[in-house]
Amino acid sequence: MAVRATASRFPIDSDALEASGLPWGLTVTPFASKDETGIGPAYGSNGHLLPRCENCYAYFNTYCELDQWAWTCSLCGTLNGLSSDAIARYSYPHDSIPETSSSFVDLELPLDGSEEEMTQARPVYVAAIDLSSSEEFLELTKSALLAALEALSPGSLFGLATFSHKIGLYDVQGPIPVVKNVFIPPDAESKLPLELEDAMPLLQFLAPVETCKDRIAAALETLRPITSWERSSGAAQGIDGVLMGGRGFGTAMEALFNYLGSEFGNTFALARVFAFMSGPPDYGRGQLDTSRYGEQYASKRVDADRALLPEQTPFYKDLATIAVQSGVCVDVFAVTNEYTDLASLKFLSIESGGSLFLYSSTDDSTLPQDMFRMLNRPYAFNCVLRLRTSTEFKPLHSYGHFFPDPQYENLQHIICCDSYATYAYDFEFANNTGFSRHSREPPVVQIAFQYTVVVPTEGLQNSELPSSSRGKHVLQKRLRIRTMQFETAQNINEIYDSVDHEVVLSLLVHKVILVSLEDGVREGRALLHDWLVILTAQYNDAYNLVQYKNGNKSMSSQIDITFSQCPQLEPLPRLVFALLRNPLLRFHEEGVHPDYRIYLQCLFSVLEPSSLHCGIYPSLTSYSTPDKQAYPRHSLSRAALLTSDSPIFFLDAYTTLIVFYTSTADPSLPFPPPQDCLLRKNINMVKQGRSITPKLMFIRGGKDDATAFENYLIEEQDVDGSGFASAKGFVSFLDDISQSVAEYMK
Ligand SMILES: [Zn+2]
């Protein structure tokens, strides 16, 4: 569990917080195996016996004072008695007990009755493939699923389904694959005429991976796109014989979840559905009206950046609830450049704990690699995340792909999460007092993360397991607790000096995404601009940089816009500028596809702070040869490139990696860089540490089209995207901020 705060020294009270102009909060990556400094937890068992405070329910931790009979809670100060068992336990040397040796513990929990009965908690995977598609799409999907089959552990069950104007269920357990079809009613109200269970019993549909791998592959080979002839005979004919479409995605998903739900808690504890789509649902239940995209261009009176962001129907949000109730997590893979309205579809994946992937074409899609990567890493499910603080402050908002508990405040449920998934909180003071200036009690945050994993029995050291359990899986429930103590800042400079700009960026990104979803992109941009103005004003005020009585100089010329007195704040103006230039916040008129914007919103709201930094302000390094690095960091400006005499540049924009050879590079330098060179080694390292597979491009300046690379050189671009020629980019952005700061300070 990695935790990073916006500043390691907390503001002393709400006045100090307001005066700082900074957000106050933290990010947490609960299933990360290490903490933010690379140290793992102390492992143990019997998490349910860990003492809890009778006042605030915090768990006992290393910051609590422990006496022979009692302990004092480090969060609320309550004196709690110890049970006789605990007294006996804590009388042993302390370093052998996880909770007294480390503030980061991971303890096994006993399973409750119904979970214990799940002796065969088999991982279940179902692929649902869009046949209302093309040969290219199906080829890509096949190679992704063949990669997936290699990554699935023995004992897993796999089901293959297709959808179009009908649902196809494959039985691959017999000598030859058999498919059963159920036709989908075309209208948005009717349900399926037949339950899937009646078409094919579920346990016939779910095949053991280790024995059926070849037949699953054979069944994949038989997949063909639905022809228009087939569609017109099966699907509804519209007025004048126009085809009404044939992608019955909503009905198919609904039926599939109900189908799987019957074995939830019996065969499986979590089933994952991979939905492969080549366009918007346009048939049956949950069909989407994609003409709203076209209408944006026709009508100039509507703010496109606002109109296309909300969902057009609650259908997929409701469907996600059905998925969760059926123990299903949905990963959506959209391979299309057509408007698919991910704004409506996204809820299906993010609320069920899945991921949303968007690939604009089948040609350069990293889908098979993403699939393999996703299945090869461990994931936790049925998770509960709870953040507790000492009494002086409390969480205000929580951000990320979880859903709040209907009953308890500050309790979040996460259906499924991997070691990358990151969440954020911001804080407010509980009252006007704040932290006492002379108190010896420092601010404390405790994060408890309860989760379940499926483990193959081979990996267990338990000799009591019967030999019949080989190749089987068992559930393991665990409780991970991290307790952190912070310091308070005696003055504003101490806050500024302890800022982590990447965490500040994370909170800002969450806030602007929320604002743009509610009030449009324009409002999101305005919020960001105003935030930087206020921060700059507060900083200049704190350092007394502006002499109000100076009559000769204009005020704005005195303003320190670059935060030259504080290295921790220095990166922020550049990050805000880059965020305004990011497709996340660029205007519709600049050609940002609404589905791509939604995809970025979903991606950016789960990234840990350093990855997000890379996605917003890509890192640019240079090399003098493929084996020798020249500079570790360049600003994203054409001028920086021209003044540097390095021939090779490497840009990492999180989703894209670009190797760029300048037009003046020595022609004897090998292109593309050879496999065993330092640059390749660095590229592979970057690729391995990433939650998604970045797209890798090689570009030779002067020979290839360099637009893809040049678009990332944002510092000369106009912040509003209104033009290149007249604009001075980052410099004029700073001038503008400086003017606004001067007005604000008056
Ligand atoms: Zn307490």
How many angstroms is it from 670 CA to the middle of ligand 1?
A: 63
Average pLDDT over residues 510-519: 94
Tell whether the model's pLDDT for residue 461 goes beyond 60: no
Q: What is the pLDDT of residue 240?
A: 44
How many angstroms is it from 445 CA to the middle of ligand 1?
A: 11
Q: What is the pLDDT of residue 191?
A: 85
How many angstroms is it from 391 CA to the middle of ligand 1?
A: 9
Tokens for 164? Answer: 């179009």
Domain extent listing, the chain? 1-31+378-459+469-490, 42-101, 118-227+244-376, 500-606+727-745, 618-713
How many angstroms is it from 123 CA to the middle of ligand 1?
A: 39
For the four alpha carbons of 589, 590, 591 and 596, in that order, the dihedral sign comes to: negative
Task: Tell me the backbone φ, ψ of residue 144, rounded to 5 degrees.
Answer: -65, -40
Tokens for 43? Answer: 């492992």
How many angstroms is it from 66 CA to the middle of ligand 1?
A: 14
Q: What is the pLDDT of residue 645?
A: 87
Q: How far apart are CA 667 and CA 500, in angstroms?
A: 42
**Max Cα–Cα distance, the chain, nearest Å:** 92
Q: What is the pLDDT of residue 154?
A: 84
Per-residue pLDDT band for 552 (boundaries 50, 70, 90) equals very low
pLDDT digits (tens, 9 = 90+) for 184-234: 998 888 889 999 999 999 999 999 998 999 999 999 999 999 876 666 655
Of the candidate ranges 101-115, 339-353, 517-531, the one whose mean pLDDT is the lowest: 101-115
Q: Which stretches does DSSP call E strand in 321-443?
A: 328-335, 356-359, 379-389, 393-399, 403-404, 411-418, 423-429
Per-residue pLDDT band for 119 (boundaries 50, 70, 90) equals low
Q: What is the pLDDT of residue 228?
A: 67
Instruction: Compute the CA torsion angle 603, 605, 609, 610 (nearest 10 deg).
Output: 10
How many angstroms is it from 569 CA to the middle of ligand 1?
A: 35
Which residue type sits at 35? D
Q: What is the pLDDT of residue 291?
A: 82
Share the mean pLDDT of the chain: 89
Tell whether the model's pLDDT for residue 469 goes beyond 70: no
Tell whether the model's pLDDT for residue 641 goes beyond 50: yes
Q: What is the pLDDT of residue 722?
A: 64
How many angstroms is it from 80 CA to the middle of ligand 1?
A: 9
Tell whether the model's pLDDT for residue 92 goes beyond 80: no
Q: How far apart are CA 598 and CA 515, in angstroms?
A: 14
Q: For 500-606+727-745, which CATH superfamily applies?
A: Sec23/Sec24 helical domain (1.20.120.730)
How many angstroms is it from 386 CA to the middle of ligand 1?
A: 14
| Parallel/antiparallel/unpaired status of strands 178-183 and 379-389 | unpaired
CATH among 3.40.640.10, 2.60.40.1670, 3.60.21.10, 3.50.50.60 for 1-31+378-459+469-490: 2.60.40.1670
pLDDT digits (tens, 9 = 90+) for 141-185: 999 999 999 888 888 999 999 999 999 999 999 888 999 999 999
Tokens for 95? Answer: 């370093």
Residues ≥6 apart with Cβ < 8 Å to 27: 3, 4, 422, 423, 424, 503, 506, 507, 608, 609
Per-residue pLDDT band for 63 (boundaries 50, 70, 90) equals very high
How many angstroms is it from 56 CA to the middle of ligand 1?
A: 4
- 38-67: b or e for each residue (b if 16 or more CB lie within 10 Å)? eeebbebeebeebbebeebebbbbbbbebe
Tokens for 529? Answer: 């601009």
CATH for 118-227+244-376 is 3.40.50.410
Architecture of domain 42-101: Roll (2.30)
Of the candidate ranges 332-336, 435-439, 602-606, 732-736, the one whose mean pLDDT is the lowest: 435-439
Taking CA 493 as the corner, what is the angle to CA 491 and CA 494, rounded to the nearest 5 degrees? Answer: 70
Average pLDDT over residues 55-80: 94
How many angstroms is it from 36 CA to the middle of ligand 1?
A: 25
- C-alpha 704, offset from chain centre: 33
| Parallel/antiparallel/unpaired status of strands 271-277 and 328-335 | parallel
How many angstroms is it from 77 CA to the middle of ligand 1?
A: 6
Verdict on whether the full-model pTM lies above 0.85: yes
pLDDT digits (tens, 9 = 90+) for 235-285: 444 444 444 568 999 999 999 999 999 988 888 888 999 999 999 999 999
pLDDT digits (tens, 9 = 90+) for 568-586: 999 999 999 999 999 999 9
Average pLDDT over residues 282-309: 75
How many angstroms is it from 309 CA to the middle of ligand 1?
A: 42
Q: What is the pLDDT of residue 509?
A: 98
Tell whether the model's pLDDT for residue 449 goes beyond 90: yes
- 425-456: b or e for each residue (b if 16 or more CB lie within 10 Å)? bbbebeeeebbeeeeebebbbbbbbbbbbbeb
Q: How far apart are CA 27 and CA 127, in angstroms?
A: 33
Average pLDDT over residues 409-436: 92
Q: What is the pLDDT of residue 459?
A: 54
Closest to 434 in 3D by CA, of 11, 10, 13, 9: 13
- C-alpha 489, offset from chain centre: 32
Q: To the nearest 5 percent, what fractions of the chain are helix, strand and coil?
A: 35, 25, 40
Q: What is the pLDDT of residue 241?
A: 43
Average pLDDT over residues 94-108: 90
CATH among 3.40.20.10, 3.40.50.300, 1.10.10.1200, 3.40.50.1820 for 618-713: 3.40.20.10
How many angstroms is it from 229 CA to the middle of ligand 1?
A: 69
Tell whether the model's pLDDT for residue 551 goes beyond 70: no
How many angstroms is it from 155 CA to the middle of ligand 1?
A: 44
